[in-house]
A and B are shown apart, each in its own frame.
Chain A
Amino acid sequence: MSFLEFLETRSSDMVELGLEHAAVVGLSVLLATIIGVTLGVATYQRARARGMVLAITGAILTIPSFALFILLLGPLGLGWPPTVVALTLYGLMPVVRNTITGLRGVDPAVLEAAKGMGLNRRQRLLRIELPLAWPVIITGVRVTTLVLLGITAIAAIINGPGYGEFIFTGLARVGTPVAVNLVLAGALGVMILAVLFDILFYTVRKLTTSKGIQ
């Protein structure tokens, strides 16, 4: 059976796994963005706190995903919960880093003008700093998404959702004709998702960034 024939017979699996893969990544990216932006906003003005949060989220990213999935197996069991928790943890670093970089990159003159016009701390953050840092933050979210798409493939070890199932099934049938097709289909699915998510981010970035700073 050729690869294309394989894709045709397994098309419903491809779509279903793709939706799962996209959903678990989407959910984790959303959580990582909420937590990461909050951490960034809370720490960007203080060097020590900033250094600490970057060091910790960076260290998390250093832990091999295979190991982290296994370590979460005990407390969280199999399937979605450990997958989402692990992915969210991995996703923090790029978001936090870009939030901090973006907020610290805002022109001091703009901030002084805002302060001089009587915008209070919250108004400056919500109306000036975050909108100006937004293109940098969303780039961090995009990096996070790419990172998580790949890691999700490994989550199949703990019965996590997504294309990892194809890859590990292929591995289990090593030596049979279908094995190569399974692995290729899994890899292809992840790459298609990567391209789709990239287009999505490009569009969202375009739509949510003021024309004044594009």
Chain B
Amino acid sequence: MSTQAPHLKTANQETGVAGSRGLSQYLVMPVVLGIALLALYVYVSLQELDSIEERSLNAARLTRAVWEHIQLTAVSTLLTLLIAIPLGILLTRPFTRRIRPYIVTVLTVLQAVPTIAILVLLAVAFLFLGFAAAIVGLVLYAIVPVLLNTMVGLEQVDDAVLEAGRGMGMSRTTVLQKIELPLAIPVMLAGIRTALVINVGTAALVTYINAGGLGDIIVAGLSTNRIVVQIVGAALTAILALLIDYIAGLIEDLLRPRGL
């Protein structure tokens, strides 16, 4: 989580991992996660739980935390995309040619701001707490990588291809729709996946601004000094993150244009 550079995920495609996965490789992650869940269940069952632990680890509470976590991730990612992709397209139009390198530099430096600092700042500076504050914090942070990925994806489209499109009599808008966006899709998909991973990770921290999620379980364990509770919260967070990344990877493979 935190400051993942936008191109972290594209590497999987370059090195041919994602594209050439066989069926067996698709099954590895679900099996691993299933075993991890089972191990966690067995571990908890074997513990003598005291009353505090029982209260923290009941099914309803856990389900609610997971559900909140998913909502936080989904809403923040959706908003991130709605803002970042159009902005990315806008910033790669010809009129920004001169200032584009500066934009990219500023965005890269902004990525070094720790996620936790953004969230906490919202709380302490504006006393802005709860679900809405969490969404604002998550979106603010995740916009940067998605924006960078969109820009990089659109910029790397071969100029010759664009010229050929214009030469065939396509308008600028048609070139964008028919050529640029489809060709940039793999990189943008990678950006979306990065946003998901960042948001699912950062959502674990929004408990500090009273916005719920699986972080609630971890913090409950920390504040009551109950290791079992901490482990359950942390393990569920990790499993959820890996699961969401896995599903995003599947969707990425499905949506990627053929021939790329």
Contact = CB atoms under 8 A, between A and B. Distances in A.
Q: In the complex, is A directly touching B at CB under 8 Å?
A: yes
A166 to B, nearest CB: 9
Nearest to A151: B2
Contacts, number: 167
Contact of A70 (B4, B5, B109, B233): B233
Contacts of A47: 16
B137 to A, nearest CB: 12
Contacts of B116: 153-154, 164, 167-168
Interface stretch (A10-18, A54-62, A110-118, A119-127): A54-62
Contact of A58 (B1, B12, B112, B205): B12
B47 interface: no
B152 interface: no
A180 B124 CA distance: 6
A167 B115 CA distance: 11
A93 B92 CA distance: 29
Interface of B: 1-5, 8-9, 11-12, 14-17, 25, 29, 109, 111-118, 120-121, 123-125, 127, 197, 200-202, 204-205, 208, 215, 218, 221-222, 227, 230-231, 233-235, 237-238, 241-242, 245
11 contacts: A64-B202, A64-B241, A71-B234, A94-B5, A147-B4, A149-B3, A154-B114, A164-B116, A167-B117, A179-B124, A180-B124
Given A62-B242, A66-B205, A67-B218, 14 more contacts: A50-B17, A59-B242, A67-B234, A67-B237, A146-B3, A146-B111, A149-B112, A151-B114, A153-B116, A154-B114, A164-B116, A183-B124, A187-B113, A190-B113
